[in-house]
């Protein structure tokens, strides 16, 4: 079965429209219909319910989505690695949550690609659940997370500590910071538990987000407060655009590198582990510094 058939199925499943799927794949609508019919004939089961104004997945189609994603991702990874084989290079796939990219991993990626000349890298921002699943399914080599990814098949090692500080757009105390447009950022499961213990008496956050950059942009534009990495907010504090909230201790959040015990890229991963462990998150690259200079 050609992988293009599964790619077409996933595109229709996402767009719920044969015409839009055809446009996105740069093929005709007839070709899309033919590929779906081929897949339905192969599995001897309808995959879509075709109404006049909408397309819905059948129960069989819903179950096929996960398998199709695994097949497409696995074949794409194999294609990339084989394409690099002639150059004697290894294709390494790394990923982290969006927060880790902003505060730490972007700088690490710059250092890693400089150090490992000749290697091919693919970098992705994924949710914690996707990181875990992709490692188990062997479509990912390395995953960076705030909480260790637990599985008998995985190794999880702490490689850094990220310092979070409570900052606000004006000088204030803890009570004011948490009651006036406080933005809660998801810094991992343990952070959520400790945050509830530390600030249990305060009202619910004005805004919740999974991304520190969204919180930073919001409070700079609308005013407010949030726990953010010192590595990111330091230039704003120096410019007096943000202020450390009075009498609130900084929070240290561990960053973990996760990978399979039996990974085929184990030698390269352990070398990268040693390299990133030497990188101080306080030196992380931030786009905001560029903005302050303009």
Would you write out the chain's pLDDT as a tens digit for each of its 294 residues?
688 899 999 999 988 888 888 888 889 989 999 999 999 999 999 999 987 777 889 999 999 998 888 888 888 777 766 665 555 456 788 999 888 887 888 888 888 888 877 677 888 888 888 999 999 988 889 999 988 999 999 999 999 888 999 999 999 999 999 988 999 998 988 888 899 888 887 888 999 998 888 999 999 999 999 999 998 899 999 999 999 998 888 888 899 999 999 988 888 899 888 888 887 665 544 433 434 333
What is the distance between the alpha carbons of residues 18 and 224, in angstroms, rounded to a whole number?
45
pLDDT attached to residue 293: 39
Q: Where are the beta strands (DSSP E) in 118-203?
A: 120-125, 142-145, 154-168, 182-185
pLDDT attached to residue 286: 42
User: Which of 142, 94, 141, 97 minimizes the C-alpha distance to 253?
Assistant: 97
Residues β-bridged to residue 228: 165
What is the distance between the alpha carbons of residues 160 and 100, in angstroms, rounded to a whole number?
11
Residues β-bridged to residue 2: none
What is the distance between the alpha carbons of residues 168 and 176, in angstroms, rounded to a whole number?
9
pLDDT attached to residue 281: 67
DSSP state of 104: I
CB 176 within 8 Å of CB 199: no
What is the distance between the alpha carbons of residues 169 and 208, in angstroms, rounded to a whole number?
17
What is the distance between the alpha carbons of residues 264 and 202, in angstroms, rounded to a whole number?
49
User: Can you read off the two tokens belonging to residue 164?
Assistant: 């979070």
């Amino acid at each position: 079965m050609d992988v293009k058939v599964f790619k077409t199925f996933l595109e229709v499943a996402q767009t719920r429209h044969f015409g839009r799927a055809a446009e996105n794949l740069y093929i005709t609508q007839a070709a899309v219909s033919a590929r779906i019919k081929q897949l339905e004939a192969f599995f001897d089961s309808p995959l879509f319910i075709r109404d006049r104004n909408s397309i819905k997945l059948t129960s069989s189609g819903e179950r096929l989505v996960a398998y199709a994603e695994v097949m497409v991702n696995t074949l794409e990874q194999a294609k990339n690695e084989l394409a690099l084989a002639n150059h004697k290079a290894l294709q390494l796939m790394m990923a982290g949550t969006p927060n880790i990219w902003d505060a730490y991993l972007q700088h690490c990626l710059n250092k890693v690609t400089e150090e490992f000349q000749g290697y091919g890298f693919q970098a992705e921002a994924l949710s914690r659940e996707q990181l875990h699943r992709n490692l188990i399914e062997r479509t990912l080599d390395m995953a960076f997370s705030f909480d260790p990814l637990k599985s008998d098949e995985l190794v999880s090692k702490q490689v850094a500590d990220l310092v979070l500080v409570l900052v606000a757009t004006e000088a204030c105390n803890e009570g004011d910071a948490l009651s006036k447009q406080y933005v809660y950022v998801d810094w991992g499961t343990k952070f959520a538990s400790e945050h509830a213990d530390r600030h249990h008496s305060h009202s619910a956050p004005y805004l919740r987000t999974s991304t520190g950059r969204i919180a930073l942009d919001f409070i700079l534009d609308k005013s407010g407060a949030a726990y953010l990495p010192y590595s990111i907010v330091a230039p704003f504090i120096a410019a007096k655009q943000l202020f450390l909230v009075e009498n609130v201790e900084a929070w240290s959040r561990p960053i973990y590198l996760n990978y399979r015990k039996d990974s085929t890229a184990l030698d390269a991963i352990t070398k990268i582990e040693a390299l990133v462990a030497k990188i101080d998150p306080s030196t992380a690259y931030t786009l905001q510094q560029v903005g302050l200079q303009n």
